[in-house]
Every structure is written in C-alpha cells, then in structure tokens.
Amino acid sequence: MNNKGNASNSKDIKRLNRILVRNIIRKLGPIARYELAKETGLTPPTVTVIVNELISDGVVLEVGHGESSGGRRPVMLEINPQAAYIFALRLQRDEVVTALFNLKGDILSHHKRVIDTAAPERVVEAVGNSFDWLIEDTGIDREKVLCCGVASPGLINTQRGVIGHSSNLKWDRVPLGAMLSKRLYGIPVHVENISNAAALAEKEYGCGRGYHDLIYLNLSVGVGAGIIIEDKIYGGSKGYAGEIGHIAVISENGPECACGRLGCLEAICGVRAIIERVKEALPDAVFESYGLNKNKLSMDDIIFPPILETKEVEGIFQEAGNWVGFILAHLVSIFNPELIILGGELSKAGPKFLATVVEKMNKNLLKELVGTAKVVCSNMKDDPALIGAYVLALEMLFSIEKWYG
Ligand SMILES: [Zn+2]
C-alpha cells in the first residue's frame, strides 16, 4: 500500500515540476536554465531533464544566447508559439466573435458573425462552423488546437461551464462548456463571464498591467463588473460576483430591463437603453442631417461629436454617468481597488462622461477613500473579453501535463 502511495507521489511530483518549469518559461521566457532552477527551486539536473523533454516534445525552443554572468553565455529558452493553438470566442446577444491564437497571444485569424442567439444549439453550431472555417483559413493542424476559452454574459458556474442565467442571451441552465466541447472535437472548454474575462485581459495586456487589485466595468449591451483581487478573478461563492447590471437603482417606475424587472442599472446605462433614449430625444431631422439611419443607430453614431454634444444626448450621458459613479462608490468602498477601468462602448463617450462618473463617485465616498482608486477608460485595441477568453484557455492548457500522446 505504502509503496504504491510513494510511487504515485513521485509521479505527481514529476508531473507538477514539469508543469511548473513550463509555466515559468511561459511567463519569464526567454530564460536561461540556471535562472529556471533559481525560479523553480529545483536542482539544475532536474531542470535539465525536464527541459530536454520539453524540447524533444517541440514545446520549448532554444532561442540564441543571453548575457553572460561571468562564464559562457547561456542558451535561452522560450515556449514555441506554434507548439499548440487556442480557440477563443466572445458571445453576446446576436453576435459571436471567434479567433485562433498561437501561444504568444497573436491572433492568427478571426471571425465576427451576426447570429440568432436565442437557441443555444444554434450558437454552438455557428461557433463550430466558425472554428472549422478558421482552421481552413489558417491552414493549421486542427489537432494542435488544444483548448477553448469562452467569454459570455450571464451568471456562470465556471467549474462546470454552465450558464446559470443570462438575461442578455435569455438562457437558463445551459451547459455551454460541454456542448461546445462536443462540437469542437472534444477539446476542453473554459467558460467565463464576459466582464471577468475582460478584467483579466486588461491586467495582462491593457492598462491594468502591474496592478494586483482592480475592477473592470463593462459598459456595453450588458453592464457588469470584473473584480480582480490579488491577481485573481474574484467570483464569490457561486462565481456570480460583479453582476451589478441588474441592481435595481430605480425600482419604482424605472425603465423596463431585459431581466423583466424595473430600473436596473443596465436598463439605464446599457447600450440598448442609451440608443433607445437618444432616438426618442432627438428629432428625426437631426439624424437625417448627418446621414444617420435612426432605425439602425449604433453607439458609434451617438458618440459622433455633433450628436454627442447636443444638450439632449449630454443629458442622457450625464444621467448614465451619475448612476455608474454611484455604483462605483459602492464597489470602491467594498473592495478598495487600486484601479478602475471603464470598458465597453460607453467608455468611448469622451472625457465629459468620465468626469461625471468620477465626480459622482467621489461625492458618494468617505473623503478618506477619495483618490484611492485611479479611474481610466480602456485603451485596448483588441476586444478585451475575447483576449481574456484566450488568457483563461492558455492557463488551462498550461495546467495540463501532456499536450500530446
Ligand atoms: Zn435587470
């Protein structure tokens, strides 16, 4: 019995060491073998054995020589960006964006589709077709796509990949992870809330770099907060933390929300709510004079300065900014973050909107808390939720010992 236990322990240790070495190379590469030993706490011979295995598997590459610290210049190691690939997607009502990434985070090809998201089965089929199309487009070996990451709106059980509820997609208890995995030839799928995924992307590649505690506010069709505490997504007991879009801020006689209740933050500050209000507020002639189709109005049309600077539209953004600032004061009081990032279409509404948010937040905070969190607008060029889905799938991939065979 004991012997068996020890054998499995040493196997476990080997497995964990291999995962550790590979992760350090990913995070710190290009890196020399002696630095790897220092970072991992493993002996140089152990590091050598693992590195040799990783090189012969094609996972790690030797990429030239580093600076010498006295003796010979050390050979540097890096993850082979083509050792495996990741498929990621971002979902929202009537739209899905998919992309194939290499292990360096480069998007090899992407695909944006307008689809009817009412039936989960149809979404899974559309995503599957898009995956096949991307494989064909890039010409990469399908068997080298090893993990999938999904950013979706809603309350999500990330452990099980189940969307418990999404007012945005109008889904309840959809086992999206399992459904997608089946269509994607059995690869593992990680499903995460869209705001959490975007928060992670900002932390890795955006204005959140170097911060450990931050909040990303997704001000898009849906409204939600991604909370990062000590470098990790804070999900709460069920993974539902940050679902602030359906706090009923005007519960009596407020505007109707997609969730069926009245006066939710999303029914006031969500993209659809803003578009509807702008359409009502301005006479048709204003839209016509700028060649805009009132029935197909987008946020880009609204943040077009001659529209944005009308007093009616300024008033709408002022109200939205006030509610966002009010809710932010609560988040700052509860979590005491170092940084708040406003993302989504509303974050492009300009400096006046940002100033309204900050002013209202400060008004509602204890004075000692004013100025403790920096508030900025996202400046990521790529879709942060999509990038976050990639980061999560990458982490999943690097927790699997053997990628092939
Ligand atoms: Zn609601």
CA of residue 262 to ligand 1 center, whole Å: 7
CA of residue 173 to ligand 1 center, whole Å: 18
Note the pLDDT tens digit of each residue in 182-238: 999 999 999 999 999 999 999 999 999 999 999 999 999 999 999 999 999 999 988
CA of residue 168 to ligand 1 center, whole Å: 9
For residues 283 and 7, the model is more confident at 283
Report the amino acid identity of residue 37: A
CA of residue 351 to ligand 1 center, whole Å: 27
CA of residue 273 to ligand 1 center, whole Å: 12
CA of residue 3 to ligand 1 center, whole Å: 58
pLDDT exceeds 80 at position 259: yes
**E strand or H helix at 37, and its extent?**
helix 33-40
Structure tokens at 129: 């077709």
| Angle, in degrees to the nearest 10, between helices 311-335 and 271-281 | 160
CA of residue 41 to ligand 1 center, whole Å: 50
Structure tokens at 31: 């890196």
- The percent of residues in the chain predicted with pLDDT above 90, rounded, is 87
Same domain flag for 227 and 367: yes
CA of residue 263 to ligand 1 center, whole Å: 7
Same domain flag for 213 and 239: yes
pLDDT value of residue 64 = 87
CA of residue 248 to ligand 1 center, whole Å: 7
Report the pLDDT averaged over residues 107-115: 95
Report the pLDDT averaged over residues 101-107: 96
Report the amino acid identity of residue 52: N
Whole-number Å distance between alpha carbons of 154 and 163: 6
Same domain flag for 145 and 288: no
CA distances from 281 to 48, 278, 294, 319 (A): 69, 5, 12, 14
Same domain flag for 267 and 350: yes
Query: Count H helices, E strands: the chain?
Result: 14, 16
CA of residue 297 to ligand 1 center, whole Å: 22
pLDDT value of residue 131 = 98
pLDDT value of residue 59 = 96
- Residue 143 is given by DSSP the state G
CA of residue 167 to ligand 1 center, whole Å: 7
Is the sign of the CA dihedral 263, 265, 267, 273 positive or negative?
positive
Domains of the chain: total: 3
CA of residue 249 to ligand 1 center, whole Å: 10
pLDDT value of residue 382 = 87
Domain membership of residue 173 (yes or no) is yes
CA of residue 154 to ligand 1 center, whole Å: 11
**E strand or H helix at 76, and its extent?**
strand 75-79
Q: How confident is the model at residue 7 (pLDDT cuts 50, 70, 90)?
A: low
CA of residue 201 to ligand 1 center, whole Å: 26
Report the pLDDT averaged over residues 393-402: 94
pLDDT exceeds 70 at position 159: yes
Cβ-based neighbours of 206, under 8 Å, separated by 6 or more = 341, 378, 379, 380, 384
Whole-prediction pTM value?
0.92
**Which runs of E-coded beta strand occur in 82-213?**
85-92, 95-101, 107-114, 145-152, 155-157, 162-166, 171-174, 189-193
CA distances from 358 to 164, 190, 374 (A): 33, 34, 9
**Which runs of E-coded beta strand occur in 293-405?**
339-343, 374-377
Same domain flag for 144 and 94: yes
Whole-number Å distance between alpha carbons of 188 and 179: 11
Q: How confident is the model at residue 112 (pLDDT cuts 50, 70, 90)?
A: very high
Domain membership of residue 402 (yes or no) is no
Length of the chain: 405
CA of residue 244 to ligand 1 center, whole Å: 9
Going edge to edge, which strands form the sheet with 171-174? 155-157, 162-166, 171-174
pLDDT exceeds 80 at position 394: yes
Domain end residue (candidates: 63, 79, 95): 79
pLDDT exceeds 50 at position 1: no
CA of residue 261 to ligand 1 center, whole Å: 6
Domain membership of residue 405 (yes or no) is no
CA of residue 250 to ligand 1 center, whole Å: 11
CA of residue 264 to ligand 1 center, whole Å: 5
CA of residue 266 to ligand 1 center, whole Å: 6
CA of residue 269 to ligand 1 center, whole Å: 11
Query: Residue 165 sits in a domain of what CATH number?
Result: 3.30.420.40
Q: How confident is the model at residue 364 (pLDDT cuts 50, 70, 90)?
A: very high
- The percent of residues in the chain predicted with pLDDT above 70, rounded, is 98
Range of the domain at 131: 85-199+385-397
Same domain flag for 284 and 349: yes
CA of residue 272 to ligand 1 center, whole Å: 13
Domain membership of residue 228 (yes or no) is yes
Domain membership of residue 48 (yes or no) is yes
CA of residue 325 to ligand 1 center, whole Å: 18
CA of residue 247 to ligand 1 center, whole Å: 7
For residues 294 and 129, the model is more confident at 129
Q: Facing residues of 214 across strands?
A: 228, 339
Same domain flag for 212 and 286: yes
Neighbours of 43 (CB within 10 A): 10
* Mean pLDDT, the chain, whole residue set: 94
Cβ-based neighbours of 185, under 8 Å, separated by 6 or more = 142
CA-closest candidate to residue 47, choices 71, 68, 24, 70: 24
Report the pLDDT averaged over residues 373-386: 94
CA of residue 252 to ligand 1 center, whole Å: 13
Note the pLDDT tens digit of each residue in 32-85: 999 999 999 999 999 999 999 999 999 999 998 888 777 888 999 999 999 999
Domain membership of residue 184 (yes or no) is yes
